Chain A
Amino acid sequence: MSMRTPLGKVRGLGSAKDGTEHWWLQRVTAIANIPLIIFLVIFVIAHLGATRAQLVASIGNPFVAILLALTFISVLWHMRLGLQVVIEDYVHGHAVKFAALLANSFVALLLGVAALFAILKMSFGL
C-alpha cells in the first residue's frame, strides 16, 4: 500500500517538489545542442580571419541569424541547468548557495540577451 496521496501521485512532483522537469529539460536542450553545435563550429571555422563586414554579411542571412540565436538559447539554457546542479552539489551554505544560484540565472540571462541583441543588430544591418 502506498502512503502517497492521490493528489501527490497526480502531480508527480516527488520529494524534491519539482518532478523531472530539470532532468528532462537538460536532455531536451542536450539533443537540440547536437545539430546546433555542429552548425556553430562550422560557422566559426568558416569565419576564421574574416573581416567584420564579412561576419556581419553572413549574419545578415536570416537562416544564419535564426540558427545562431537558437544555438545561444539552447546552449545557455543547458549551461544554466548544468551549473545549477554543480552549485547544488558543492555549495552548502544557505546564503552562499542562494546567491550562487541567483548569479547563475542572471549571468545566463544576461549572456542570452547580449548574444541575441548582437545577432539581431548585425542581422538587421548596422
Chain B
Amino acid sequence: MAEIHNAGRPLSPHLQIYRGGLTMMMSIVHRATGMALYFGVILMVWWLSAAATSDDYFGLVQGFWGSWFGRVVLFGFTWALVHHAIGGLRHLLWDTGRGFELPTVELMAKANLIGSVVITIVLWIIGYGVMP
C-alpha cells in the first residue's frame, strides 16, 4: 500500500467520465444499499439487545419502530435489504460467467429495481396483515 502521489498524471477514468445509465445507477445503488444496511443491522442489534435487557427498554425500542419515523426507517431498510439481495443474486450469476449480454444486463437491472419495490410492498402488506 504505497502512498499515492498524483503529480498531474492521468488517472483511470472515474464516474464523471461516463454517460449515466441504468446499470451504472444500479451498481451505485447496490453499494449504497449495502452501506445503508450497516446501519440497519445496528438497529436490529439494538432491538435484540433491548429485548434481552428489560420490559421498559424493549417497550421504548418497540415504540420507536412503531412510530411513523421508525416505520419509514424500517420501510427503507426493507427495500434496501431486498434490493441488495436481488442485486447480489445478479452478481452471483455474473460470477459463473453468465448473463453478460447487454440486453440481459439491462433486463436484470430493470427486474432488480421493479422486483425490489414489489417485494418490499408485498412484505409490508403481509406485515400489516399479521400485526395484531
Contact = CB atoms under 8 A, between A and B. Distances in A.
A11 to B, nearest CB: 19
Interface residues of B, number: 34
Contact of B48 (A31, A82, A92, A115): A115
Contacts of B92: 27, 30-31
Interface string A40-59: 01000110110010011001
B35 interface: yes
B131 A126 contact: no
A59 B50 CA distance: 14
A117 B50 CA distance: 12
A30 B58 contact: no
| Chain A interface, DSSP helix/strand/loop, else mixed | helix
Q: Most chain-A Cβ atoms within 10 A of its Cβ — which of B49, B78, B132?
A: B49
Q: Point out which of A45, A83, A117, A126 has the most chain B C-beta atoms below 10 A from its C-beta.
A: A45
Interface of A: 27, 30-31, 33-34, 37, 41, 45-46, 48-49, 52, 55-56, 59, 68, 72, 75-76, 79, 82-83, 86, 92, 94, 111, 114-115, 117-119, 121-122, 126
Given A27-B92, A41-B78, A52-B55, 8 more contacts: A55-B51, A75-B41, A79-B34, A83-B38, A86-B34, A111-B42, A115-B45, A126-B52
